[in-house]
Structure 1
Amino acid sequence: MSEVIKTYCCPICKKVFTDTKYRPFCSKRCADIDLGNWFNEAYRFEAEEIDEQDLEELAKLPEQPEE
């Protein structure tokens, strides 16, 4: 019976590769490029603007005890 070889696509360089220790990246170079993108704030999370009314509602909530 033949073994199925799973392939992946590197999100940085788009190279198709089989499993590596740097997965989901094809190489250390691509992993380092991705890390640099995070450090340089090239990636962003979408967030909603908080308005004054939202802040007032949050202030009314009881504080949660620290665990």
Structure 2
Amino acid sequence: MSESQRPLHVACPQCRKKVAWREDNPYRPFCSQRCRLLDLGAWADGSHRIAGEPAMDETEIDEMILRAERGLQDDGQE
């Protein structure tokens, strides 16, 4: 294998171990199924989050829909 054909190595997002980025690695970018499942669990329990505005709850969405159906603007004017 020549220098240009060597696979890219990346750090496992969970344990930081170097992993070859190859099609035959079913867990990429993770090094193992264990690291992949640990990462999935962190997303599921809320440990990993994407920063941004908080999501609206169902009550707020229902109120917004009712206002739109009645033709009211957000400031309460008709």
Higher helix proportion (structure 1 or 2): 2
Q: TM-score, length-normalised on structure 1?
A: 0.63
Alpha-carbon contact 2:12-2:31 (below 8 Å) kept: yes
- Structure 1: stretches of 5+ with no match in the other structure: 50-54, 61-67
Specify which of 7, 10, 13 is matched with residue 12 of structure 2.
10
In the superposition, relative to structure 1, how do residues 40 and 5 fare at CA in structure 2: closer, same or farther (>3 Å)? same
| Root mean square deviation of aligned Cα | 2.6
Q: 1:32 aligned to 2:37?
A: yes
In the superposition, relative to structure 1, how do residues 47 and 5 fare at CA in structure 2: closer, same or farther (>3 Å)? closer
Query: Which contiguous aligned blocks of 4+ residues in structure 1 show a shift greater than 2 angstroms?
Result: none
Cα distance in 2 for partners of 1:29, 1:41 equals 18
1:23 is matched with 28
Q: Which entry has the higher C-alpha Rg, 1 or 2?
A: 2
SS across alignment from 2:36: helix
Q: What is the percent sequence identity of the aligned residues?
A: 40
Aligned length in residues = 54
Name which structure has the greater RCO, CA cutoff 8 Å, separation 6+. 1
